[in-house]
């Protein structure tokens, strides 16, 4: 389709706009009286939730649905007077000059400390009243960039449309994110500039909503850590309280900054906080890499009043870093803009469509030439970013369809990251009952010089084992896994298995509750501890030579077969979840064995083997009768409780 044909279609739509639902686009630039650009200014349709913010050069672009064509466009910025424009009278790009609002600006309110803290407690207590008291589904625009500011080189530039399920502000339970659309332009030398890949970015509107998750500087429990100062101020042409806060001397607090309260409702309207030295130190420990060092981090949030409640409107997270390897400064910048909100019977996102916190946006996003978005409310890119996404037709065709050959190291790193983010580890305790021997005796003579003789008397007891399971997620529901466990205590209870597991949500909102089931093929060894013996001479057993001073003997069974699991799992934090599982063991093969293990010497080199109770070197008795079968056994039903870790 050529350009002339597209233009004809566009003109046709304009002439028949009264019959066809359409929307117009308004762009412009916002500056102050001295022509200085005003980044972060709010541009929104009055009495609606449609809006955007200006970029670092003060420019913006916003789509206007037809039903608002006779509405008003509001433009505001902190410390400036709000301006309104009739949408039906806007015929060209807007050049907006905001005038500074000096009325009541920076006027310190003299207030006793107890009175100020009481005000802050009231604001905190009114969160459940001021913010959404029902679950919501939000649509929004997300941008993630990683760049080298000194050279103006962008290591990558990505955008996405997100669908978000958010629980009520009356609690701090987690929400869900779906990646609807994405596009990204990647620098071919990304690996040369950076040694990390960033995850969790698309969860920014969930995890960094400081009001929803009760940030420490808002919480009465942490007031003792901060000094607060209150000012009279204005925000979006409305009177506000500006609260500035900083950590008290010798107090360990992550943030310092300011937030704005509505003077009537005491709702949090705006928050801007930066890391303290302590916050930077903790952040560097969290990143866990010596080659990349955090220098500063700033988080900015805006909330908008709509339908008698306040909702998250905009959030940005800017992190300044230093790469020791390349001796270069880097900036990692994420921002999210809410473009639509639905509170009518908002339902959670289907389980298979949810994005995990560990997902790497750099790897999940589509290449830019695969995306062709239309009619979306976007944050207009800076001119430096436009070099990546807005080209002349010839250059766009050349660059957007060119396939870069990434360095081999980068390709390996991407593949490794994809694998690692699908691996999980379960650490658990297993308990099951054992049927111990009532009375018995064993005489084991591995050589003419060595004889072990011991009577056996015991009762039934509870067995405990420590286990580790490593799994790989094939998709949201299915995984393959390897399991290993060993007994805690004197008896032997070793197991290895390979299996498949399936999980699906029972409760798909807040802290999800997942149903887990699995089938495994196992190999196990269970043995009752007969006793520890001194060994005066070396001997051979099971093809191994034993030369330790101390030997332990066990009588029991080797088994193999299928096991079936059924359990529940719930997420605790970003990477951790708690699970409980009941299992049944179906044995296909059982062998009665004597287990022999060295108990002295270096623990990593201690030998272990087993031989049949039918072996000629063994005389085994139960209840006075010689036999080659043991009555020791473990219950086929057992219970596991543990923690799952998934990066």
CATH topology of domain 422-646: Porin (2.40.160)
Average pLDDT over residues 299-307: 90
Residue 447: φ, ψ to 5°: -155, 170
**What residues does CATH 2.60.40.1120 cover in the chain?**
20-97
The neighbour count for residue 455, using CB atoms within 10 Å, is 11
b (16+ CB within 10 A) / e for 272-308: bbbbbeebbeebbeebeeeebbbeebebbbbbbbbee
Q: Is 397 helix (H, G, I), strand (E, B) or coil?
A: helix
Q: Is 595 helix (H, G, I), strand (E, B) or coil?
A: strand
pLDDT band, very low/low/confident/very high, at 394 (cuts 50, 70, 90):
very low
Top-ranked range on mean pLDDT: pick from 305-309, 428-432, 541-545: 428-432
b (16+ CB within 10 A) / e for 594-604: bbbbbeeeeee
pLDDT at 101: 75
Q: How far apart are CA 471 and CA 92, in angstroms?
A: 58
CATH topology of domain 20-97: Immunoglobulin-like (2.60.40)
155 touches 193 (CB < 8 A) = yes
Of the candidate ranges 94-98, 406-410, 486-490, 637-641, the one whose mean pLDDT is the lowest: 406-410
Burial class (CB in 10 A: 0-12, 13-18, 19+), 530: buried
Non-local (6+) Cβ contacts of 324 within 8 A are 290, 291, 292, 293
Of 574, 614, 463, nearest in space to 524 by CA: 463
**What residues does CATH 2.40.160.20 cover in the chain?**
422-646
Non-local (6+) Cβ contacts of 9 within 8 A are none
Answer whether residue 221 shows pLDDT above 90.
Answer: yes
Between 137 and 196, residue with greater pLDDT = 137
Between 612 and 374, residue with greater pLDDT = 612
Cα–Cα distance list, 309 to 132, 136, 219 (Å): 6, 12, 21
The neighbour count for residue 47, using CB atoms within 10 Å, is 12
233 touches 106 (CB < 8 A) = yes
Q: How far apart are CA 565 and CA 560, in angstroms?
A: 16
Between 568 and 288, residue with greater pLDDT = 568
Pairing of strands 94-97, 23-31: parallel
pLDDT at 377: 54
* Element (DSSP H or E) covering residue 364: helix 361-364
pLDDT at 372: 63
Average pLDDT over residues 374-380: 55
Pairing of strands 238-247, 59-65: unpaired
Pairing of strands 478-488, 226-235: unpaired
Of 265, 280, 229, 192, nearest in space to 109 by CA: 229
Answer whether residue 130 shows pLDDT above 90.
Answer: yes
Answer whether residue 84 shows pLDDT above 60.
Answer: yes
452 touches 443 (CB < 8 A) = yes
Of 104, 94, 101, nearest in space to 33 by CA: 101
Q: What Rg value do the Cα atoms of the chain yield, rounded?
A: 33
Q: How far apart are CA 298 and CA 189, in angstroms?
A: 27
Of the candidate ranges 20-34, 180-194, 617-631, the one whose mean pLDDT is the lowest: 180-194
pLDDT band, very low/low/confident/very high, at 13 (cuts 50, 70, 90):
very low
pLDDT at 183: 82
The neighbour count for residue 421, using CB atoms within 10 Å, is 19
Tell me, yes or no, if the pTM score tops 0.75.
no
pLDDT in tens, 255-264: 999 999 999 9
Of 431, 461, 493, 492, nearest in space to 639 by CA: 431
pLDDT at 578: 95
Q: How far apart are CA 211 and CA 618, in angstroms?
A: 71
Of 521, 455, 517, 465, nearest in space to 634 by CA: 465
Between 618 and 108, residue with greater pLDDT = 618
Residue 283: φ, ψ to 5°: -65, -40
Q: What is the mean pLDDT of the chain?
A: 84
């Amino acid at each position: 389709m050529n350009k002339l044909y597209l233009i004809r279609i566009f003109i046709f739509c304009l002439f028949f706009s009264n019959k066809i639902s359409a929307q117009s686009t308004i762009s412009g630039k916002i500056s102050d009286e001295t022509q200085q650009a005003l980044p972060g200014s709010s541009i929104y349709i009055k009495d609606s939730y449609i809006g955007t913010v200006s970029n670092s050069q003060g420019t913006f672009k916003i789509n206007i649905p037809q039903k608002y064509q006779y509405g008003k466009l509001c433009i505001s910025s902190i410390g400036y007077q709000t301006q309104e424009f009739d949408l039906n009278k806007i015929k060209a790009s807007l050049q907006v000059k905001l005038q500074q609002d000096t009325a009541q600006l920076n006027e310190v309110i003299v207030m006793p400390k107890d009175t100020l803290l009481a005000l802050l407690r009231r604001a905190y207590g009114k969160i459940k009243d001021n913010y959404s008291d029902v679950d919501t589904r939000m649509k929004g625009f997300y941008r993630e960039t990683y760049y080298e500011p000194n050279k103006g080189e962008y290591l990558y530039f990505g955008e996405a449309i997100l669908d978000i399920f958010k629980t009520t502000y009356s609690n701090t339970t987690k929400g869900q994110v779906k990646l609807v659309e994405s596009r990204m332009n990647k620098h071919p030398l990304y690996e040369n500039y950076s040694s990390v890949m960033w995850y969790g970015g698309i969860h920014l509107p969930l995890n960094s909503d400081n009001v929803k998750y009760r940030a420490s500087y808002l919480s009465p429990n942490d007031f003792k850590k901060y000094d607060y100062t209150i000012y009279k101020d204005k925000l979006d042409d409305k009177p506000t309280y500006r609260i500035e806060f900083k950590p008290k001397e010798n107090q360990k607090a992550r943030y310092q900054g300011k937030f704005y309260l509505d003077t009537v409702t005491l709702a949090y309207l705006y928050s801007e906080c930066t890391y303290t030295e302590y916050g930077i130190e903790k952040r560097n420990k969290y990143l866990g890499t010596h080659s990349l060092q955090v220098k500063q981090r700033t988080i900015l949030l805006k909330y908008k009043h709509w339908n008698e409640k306040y909702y998250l409107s905009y959030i940005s997270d800017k992190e300044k870093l230093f790469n020791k390897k390349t001796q270069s400064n880097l900036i990692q910048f994420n921002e999210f803009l809410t473009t639509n909100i639905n509170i009518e019977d908002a339902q959670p996102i289907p389980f298979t469509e949810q994005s995990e916190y560990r997902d790497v946006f750099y790897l999940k996003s589509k290449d830019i030439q695969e995306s062709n978005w239309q009619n979306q409310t976007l944050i207009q890119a800076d001119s430096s970013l436009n070099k990546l996404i807005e080209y002349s037709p010839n250059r766009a065709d050349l660059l957007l369809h060119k396939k870069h050959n990434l360095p081999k190291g980068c390709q390996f790193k991407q593949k490794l990251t994809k694998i690692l983010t699908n691996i999980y580890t379960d650490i658990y305790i297993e308990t099951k009952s054992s049927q111990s021997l009532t009375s018995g005796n064993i005489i084991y003579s591995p050589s003419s010089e060595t004889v072990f003789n011991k009577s056996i008397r015991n009762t039934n007891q509870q067995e405990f084992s420590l286990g580790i399971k490593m799994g790989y997620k094939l998709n949201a529901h299915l995984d393959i896994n390897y399991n290993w466990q060993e007994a805690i205590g004197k008896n032997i209870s070793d197991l290895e298995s390979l299996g498949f597991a399936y999980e699906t949500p029972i409760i798909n909102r807040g802290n999800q509750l997942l149903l887990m089931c699995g089938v495994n093929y196992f190999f196990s060894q269970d043995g009752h501890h007969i006793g520890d013996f001194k060994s005066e001479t070396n001997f051979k057993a099971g093809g191994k030579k034993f030369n330790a001073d101390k030997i332990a003997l066990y009588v029991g069974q080797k088994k193999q077969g299928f096991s079936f699991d059924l359990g529940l799992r719930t997420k605790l934090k970003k990477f951790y979840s708690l699970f409980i599982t009941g299992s049944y063991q179906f044995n296909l093969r059982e062998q009665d064995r004597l287990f022999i293990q060295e108990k002295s010497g270096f623990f990593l080199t201690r030998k272990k083997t087993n031989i049949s109770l039918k072996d000629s070197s063994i005389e085994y008795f139960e209840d006075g009768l010689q036999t080659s079968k043991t009555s020791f056994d473990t219950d086929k039903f057992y219970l596991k409780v543990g923690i799952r870790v998934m990066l």
